[in-house]
Structure 1
Amino acid sequence: MEEIMKTLIILAHPCEDSFNRAICDEVKQHLEYKKHDVKIRDLYKLKFDPVLKEDNYSSFYQTELPKDIKEEQDYITWAENLVMIFPTWWNGMPAMLKGYIDRVFTNGFAFRFTKGESEGLLKEKKAVVFQTTGQPEDIMKPNQLVSSMETIVDVGILDYCGLDVITHKFFFSVQHINKEAREVMLKEVNGIVDIL
């Protein structure tokens, strides 16, 4: 019997009719067609609290996890693949997603830091990142904005936690292109997640 792959989509966009939502729907539909078990964590719909409070920080070593954080960690533990979908706001990820990472990717769960060395604990999981922006590619790339965001997300967060980042795909000028151009982008999404 063929093993069913388990994929978790983390979506961080507040609008139901956004292109980010369209990417999420496309990934879900395509992976389910490929017999993946797909779960979605829509952070805005869940009203996830992204604020890292002092009591959360004191519990950084997995001793007294809040219920909402334990639930998210259980989803990540379940998954073999993580697909992150988010817009670019002020040349970074939305505060909602940053707060999710701050609170959920804790020491003792996503990584372990002891004796001056860190170890990623989410090994053998793959990650794909889809990031949208209203800015054109010919402005962002020459100013090193794409490479800086790739370094922060792929190296500073995901790789640090042991995840194997397969692709970090940027979609440029999404607010300014026509429906046909967006359809081409969605077909590209399918080709990327085929590798999962």
Structure 2
Amino acid sequence: MNTLIILAHPCEDSFNAAICNEIKDHLTSKNHEVKIRDLYKLKFDPVLTEDNHTNFYQTKLPKEVHVEQNEITWAENLVFIFPTWWGGMPAIMKGYFDRVFTNGFAFRFSEKQVDGLLKDKKAVIFQTTSKTEEFMKPSQLVSSMETAMDVGIFEYCGMTVIAHKFFYSVPHVNKESRLTMLKEAKSVVDIL
């Protein structure tokens, strides 16, 4: 199995990076070929330019976008790891979707519908937050983020979301709780 991990956190010693490393080691031990795209290390430019946006079918894409699309084409599974900032994903991750999941690559408009072109891909999302589950769920923050990503991005592009896992209160929990979360992350990707 080919698994691509897309990480969006600026700190190399973050819990998001720990999740990434744990997942990589775990899946490699299960004979997955794993690649990591660390958006901050890559200095991925999240800004969608007017030229790129107004070219509706986006046939003249920058080289860095082609590189990312080639990695997605290679992958059978996509694992996204990022923190929750201001009720959503970091700008670099949103810009990744804006620039890489283009019309003609991730989806195609036809006369009366949109066809998802990534039907053969499975997605797992790991999203960390500093807030408690008791704060996030009653406020509908979890369900709104799940809908925006799982339906608005992945389902739209034809992908199957296997899991969207939130880890709560990450900066405030002890080491044992973090180890439990990492163990849980491994069990989530066992279904890939």
Normalised-by-shorter TM-score class: over 0.9
Runs of 4+ in 1 over 2 A off after TM superposition: none
Alignment equivalent of 2:2, drawn from 3, 6, 14? 6
1:108 aligns with 2:108: no
- The alignment covers a number of residue pairs equal to 192
Alignment equivalent of 1:54, drawn from 30, 42, 50? 50
Q: In 2, distance between residues paired with 1:174 and 1:154?
A: 22
- Contact 2:2–2:76 under 8 Å retained in 1: yes
* Structure 1 segments unaligned to the other structure (5+ residues): none
- Contact 1:113–1:119 under 8 Å retained in 2: yes
Amino acid at match of 2:157: C
Partner of 1:152: 148
Let me know the Cα RMSD of the aligned residues.
Answer: 0.7
Alignment equivalent of 2:74, drawn from 70, 73, 78? 78
What does residue range 123-162 of structure 1 map to in structure 2 within 5 Å? Answer: 123-162=119-158
Amino acid at match of 1:108: G
Moved more, 72-81 or 59-68: 59-68
Q: In 2, distance between residues paired with 1:45 and 1:10?
A: 11
Q: In 2, distance between residues paired with 1:56 and 1:120?
A: 20
Deviation at 1:76, TM superposition (A): 0.2
Amino acid at match of 2:169: S
- Contact 2:108–2:117 under 8 Å retained in 1: yes
Deviation at 1:116, TM superposition (A): 3.3
1:180 aligns with 2:155: no
Matched position secondary structure for 1:86: strand
Partner of 1:194: 190
Task: Give deviations 1:83-117, integer Å, cap 9, x for gaps.
Answer: 00000000000000000100000000000012131
- Contact 2:52–2:58 under 8 Å retained in 1: no
Q: In 1, distance between residues paired with 2:125 and 2:77?
A: 11
Matched position secondary structure for 1:107: coil
Partner of 1:34: 30
Alignment equivalent of 1:67, drawn from 63, 67, 84? 63
Q: In 1, distance between residues paired with 2:59 and 2:181?
A: 43
Partner of 2:116: 120
Matched position secondary structure for 1:175: helix
Q: In 2, distance between residues paired with 1:190 and 1:54?
A: 40
Amino acid at match of 2:9: H
Q: In 1, distance between residues paired with 2:55 and 2:69?
A: 14
Partner of 2:84: 88
Identity of aligned residues (%): 71
Matched position secondary structure for 2:171: coil
